[in-house]
Amino acid sequence: MDEAQIQRIIEAALLASDGPLTVANLTKLFGPGELDEENATRQVREALKALQEDSADRGVELKRVASGYRYQVRQELSEWVSRLWDEKPPRYTRALLETLALVAYKQPVTRGDIEQVRGVSVSQNIMRTLVERDWIRVVGQREVPGRPSLYGTTKTFLDYFNLQALTELPPLAEIRALIEPALVEPDESITVAVQTTDDPETDPESADVVQLHSGASPSN
Amino acid sequence: MDEAQIQRIIEAALLASDGPLTVANLTKLFGPGELDEENATRQVREALKALQEDSADRGVELKRVASGYRYQVRQELSEWVSRLWDEKPPRYTRALLETLALVAYKQPVTRGDIEQVRGVSVSQNIMRTLVERDWIRVVGQREVPGRPSLYGTTKTFLDYFNLQALTELPPLAEIRALIEPALVEPDESITVAVQTTDDPETDPESADVVQLHSGASPSN
Amino acid sequence: MNESVGQLQQARTADSATIAVVRGEAVTQLPTDLYIPPEALEVFLETFEGPLDLLLYLIRRQNLDILNIKVAEITRQYMGYIDLMQALQLELAGEYLLMAAMLAEIKSRMLLPRPESLEEEEGDPRAELIRRLQEYEQIKTAAEGIDELPRMERDLFDVAASKPDLVKQHADPEVDLKEVLTALAAVLRRAEMFQKHEVKFEPLSVRERMGDVLALVNSQDGFVDFGDLFQPSEGRMGVIVTFLAIMELVREALVEFVQAEAFAPIHVRGASGVVDHAPVFNTNYGGEADSDMEAAVDADADADSDEDR
């Protein structure tokens, strides 16, 4: 058997195996006469060496670990590969979204102002989250006892929601129309639906519905 | 980011992932600015193409199946690679394969439809096995009394059989071809595997397979 | 009779002495066209997926065109099997008996002369059987085709490289603007249930500018030249919006004006809460004027005119 074929078999076996394989494991994959009887181990070692060199510039590398050889993803690529297992980001609470909306429409506002409109207290946590996200910022203090911070929205906020300026936000009349839908013309109302979570798997090319042709040549 | 790095990341991701990845999945691995914003998809596709060409002479190949791209051991190397495992690959009974074929080619179908064509009742066991393997799934109900479940095949089914779409299934034989006697060789034999129930000692190659020769030629 | 069945039969005769079988010879008790010894019959039967499969086998064995089934002959053979199975007390699925009944009916209809009109109406009694046989054979072939496809675990194997140490990445939640607006609608509904007065909102342009002015004042040690707050490049509208924003800030006591003496430069500073400088601009900025100012903005700027009052 030629070297290239030996390398192919070893590469395939290492990648198909669930764990590392030793030189002995690999040698056993070959049938009688496929390796030189006397040099079998050396042939396998040489193939491993060649595969190692071959993987020098690839996304995976052939490494020798305690229990044998295995292919592993290069550590320096983990930044990208890790994203495969990224958890879905959590969703913001309704309280946070209400707070954000009030800051946007009523800025500059204090936490107290927001609490007054919402009718419930606003946790410090919510304000901190919004500030950390750089969607709101402290723009000053109200000169009343306690000097509460006044919040306003930021450029980042506008950028995230793809707005040039706050004036591009729908006027309050439209928002109120959401409360009393009967007051607006059906086709004027803006449809507000909370997006359902998108399916990241969706690939428009591989739709589930496929036409079956009996006898037709398969399409590509 | 240069092409070589994009290819490395995609190769690493495909080899690290537990299942096939779509172009959309792969594109999402890259951070802002790492791919050309307008050409991101094209860049990923080109990298996949390059990796596909690159693997032409290797032990694994980059293949596109129904739910995305995956690396898999080249079919012609399965002889060696399968020696890694002691277990024989699972075998499927004719009853299961015929049921699967009916779901694949005639979907959506009810269990009753399947029984109608096969002329025998379909065991609940077979349906359960197919559903548990995620090869078929309930896609709806037929609006007749009893509202029987309608079954269809899944992407997992296509992936398992190395297909991108149902259109790649072998075309159904034309009915006319079936009635041409010339197509039947006189000594054509039917090889039938009879599943044993519980004897683990039995070698499936010997006792359980009965050759049924339809020809009249007697053996000596 | 073929070799493997012969071997099977030999293996079986060891513990079953019911019927003696000579290798290569049809057994006398059985119909002559059955080439299966009774010992093998149970196994034989299990190899069929049902009566259609068995019928197909019988037809193919005779190298017959399905369209040309000799119903009488096939029925005879089929019945032979059924009888044999019953004689051997093999468990016989109901479907086989049903098929036997169907075949018997077809056979009887073929034998009996029928009025031509009735014949035309009902057609060839074999048609339905033929259709079913064809349909079944098609699926049987398709199943064989699927079985031959290269498949995972047998012909193809999944591959995987070991994963690197994963980098834990924290992603921020995604928010759609519509979600924010829906939340605002909900809070307004609640607010109007609890409060008598309407929640009042200034035009957004003014609100936005108020934040900007306040941030600017605070960033400059809380003291800015009044003129510096205006950007002439924004034009008349921008100047008005800024002016309104400053007025609103003054009214809300968030900033105050400072002027050292008459005609001296006016400065704006963050409100101290204590009125200690002598010449302070009039901060008593009435509600009436407020609406007038907003009306002025509305008249000038379409962008702002749709703001709710």
Q: What is the pTM of this model?
A: 0.62
For tokens 């006697």, the residue is B181
pLDDT band at C202 (very low <50, low <70, confident <90, very high): low
**Nearest CA distance, A29 vs chain C (angstrom):** 15
d(CA B135, CA C26): 45
Asked if the model's pLDDT at residue B51 lies above 90, the reply is: yes
In degrees to the nearest 10, what's the CA dihedral of C55, C58, C59, C62? -170
Question: In the sheet that C266-270 helps form, which strands lie side by side, from edge to edge?
Answer: C223-225, C266-270, C255-259
pLDDT band at A180 (very low <50, low <70, confident <90, very high): low
Interchain CB distance below 8 Å, B165 and A215: no
Interchain CB distance below 8 Å, C160 and B16: yes
Interchain CB distance below 8 Å, C149 and B163: yes
Measured CA distances, B61 to C140, C159, C267 (Å): 32, 10, 73
Cβ atoms of residues B170 and C145 within 8 Å: yes
d(CA C247, CA C255): 9
| B-chain residue closest to C140, CA distance | B98
Option in A104, A137, A173 nearest C308 (CB): A173
What is the value of ipTM here, to two decimals?
Answer: 0.64
Residue C167 burial (CB count, 10 A): 14
For residue C23, count CB atoms less than 10 angstroms from its CB and return exposed for 0-12, middle for 13-18, buried for 19 or more.
middle
A108 prior amide bond cis, ω within 30: yes
Average pLDDT, chain C: 70
Indicate the length of chain A as a whole number.
Answer: 220
Return the partners of chain C (3 or more C-beta pairs < 8 Å): A, B
Interchain CB distance below 8 Å, A74 and B164: no
Task: Give the pLDDT mean for C32-58.
Answer: 72
Interchain CB distance below 8 Å, A77 and B30: no
Q: Which DSSP category does A180 fall into?
A: -
| C-chain residue closest to A95, CA distance | C183
Query: C-alpha C19: how far from its chain's center?
Result: 60
Helix, strand, or coil here: C236? Answer: helix
Segment holding A64, helix H or strand E: strand A60-65
Angle at C108 between CA C104 and CA C113, to 5 degrees: 165
Q: Which DSSP category does A183 fall into?
A: G
In degrees to the nearest 10, what's the CA dihedral of C124, C125, C129, C134? 0
List chain A residues with CB under 8 Å of B57.
4, 8
Residue B134 burial (CB count, 10 A): 14
Asked if the model's pLDDT at residue A188 lies above 60, the reply is: no
d(CA B177, CA B134): 33
**Nearest CA distance, B101 vs chain A (angstrom):** 13
- Which among A207, A143, A212, B36 is positioned nearest to C218, based on CA atoms? A143
Indicate which of C159, C180, C197 best probes the interface with A, i.e. most A CBs within 10 Å of its own CB.
C180
Option in A28, A59, A208 nearest B12 (CB): A59
Q: Which DSSP category does A213 fall into?
A: -
Report the share of chain A in percent with pLDDT over 90.
Answer: 47
Option in B11, B66, B81 nearest A59 (CB): B11
Q: What is the pLDDT of residues A7-62, one digit of tens each?
A: 999 999 999 998 999 999 999 999 999 999 889 999 999 999 999 999 998 999 99
pLDDT of residue C13: 39
Q: Does B182 or A111 have the greater pLDDT score? A: A111
**Nearest CA distance, B173 vs chain C (angstrom):** 6
User: What angle do the packed helices C94-111 and C126-148 form, to 10 degrees?
Assistant: 140
Q: Does C81 or C45 have the greater pLDDT score? A: C81
Interchain CB distance below 8 Å, C208 and A178: no
List chain B residues with CB under 8 Å of C143.
94, 97-98, 100-101
pLDDT of residue A17: 93
One-letter identity of residue B42: R
List chain C residues with CB under 8 Å of B21.
none
| C-chain residue closest to B170, CA distance | C145
d(CA B111, CA B115): 6
List chain A residues with CB under 8 Å of B169.
212, 218
Q: What is the pLDDT of residues B132-157, one digit of tens each?
A: 999 999 999 999 999 999 999 999 99
Query: C-alpha A205: how far from its chain's center?
Result: 21
For residue B70, the cross-strand partners are B63
Structure tokens at A138: 């402290």
Structure tokens at A217: 């040549």
**Nearest CA distance, A50 vs chain C (angstrom):** 18
CB proximity list for A123: less than 8 A, separation 6 or greater: A95
Helix, strand, or coil here: A145? Answer: coil
List chain C residues with CB under 8 Å of B121.
95
